[in-house]
Amino acid sequence: QVQGDDYRRVYEEYLGKDASKKANAKKTYNKTEIRKENIKISDTDLKWKLFHYCKDNGLQSIGAQQYAKVGSVYDYELGSTAEAIRNNLRTQYPEIKLVVWESSILNEWLNLLIAKNTIFIETPKDFLDTIYDALTESDENTMVLVNPKTEEYFRYQKNDLIVLRTMVDRAPISKNNHLTIEKLFVDLLCDKLLIELFDSYTVQELIQDAAASYAVNEKKLLAYARRRGRYNEILAYWRKI
């Protein structure tokens, strides 16, 4: 049995020093990999040692029995127009699930900054009409595109254009009605409209840079990819990062 300081050597080798160097490439470690060195350790001992080691060294579970050094939880600030919309919708319909984000949040990682911002609002299909009415009731001239096709979007594109879309069932969103980084990644890779807005090289660079700075829950990311019907594609893509 491995005891005392030998445990620290094991975990520093397989979860600490190497993880801190390779976490940005999404190298992860699990019990099978640790045991490749034929180190004898019981499941119970491993469970508790992993728990305490992760707690002491800033490691986080990012999937089933997978651990890596990761950064902070991603969040963003909305512009004044989008923030006002979000606050109004939350006040009127606190029980309706919705997410508000805008294309300008991607400027954090883009070399060519977005000039014409788009405000995206997503909600379950049954509430599209309700949210649409709330967005237009104060000003009938407010332009809101509902699930627009690519051609329609580019025809009416202007700064702070509002795009109302159907939310994918059980999409991962935060408590403040912001999207999570897992949802952002998957949507950038498979959403028809977003694919038209950003070329594949730009998206790849963006995801790599974002994943280097923020914590990504692999289990959550792949669960959402499955709900979008793109599990195998996203899994293969993620493994290459």
The phi, psi pair for 175, rounded to 5°, reads: -70, -20
**pTM exceeds 0.85:** no
Closest to 70 in 3D by CA, of 58, 55, 82: 58
Instruction: Please enumerate in sequence order all residues whose Cβ is within 8 A of that of 139, keeping only pairs 6 or more positions apart, or say none.
Output: none
Segment (H or E) for 183: helix 181-190
Q: Distance of CA 123 to CAs 65, 87, 145, 171, 221, Å?
A: 33, 15, 14, 10, 19
- pLDDT, one tens digit for every residue, the chain (241 residues): 444 444 455 555 555 544 444 444 444 555 565 555 445 667 677 677 777 766 666 666 655 555 656 567 899 999 999 999 999 999 999 999 999 999 999 999 998 899 999 999 999 999 999 999 999 997 778 899 999 999 999 999 999 999 999 999 999 999 999 999 999 999 999 999 999 999 999 999 999 999 988 989 999 999 999 999 999 999 999 998 8
- Structure token digits, residue 159: 């700064």
Q: Is 144 helix (H, G, I), strand (E, B) or coil?
A: strand
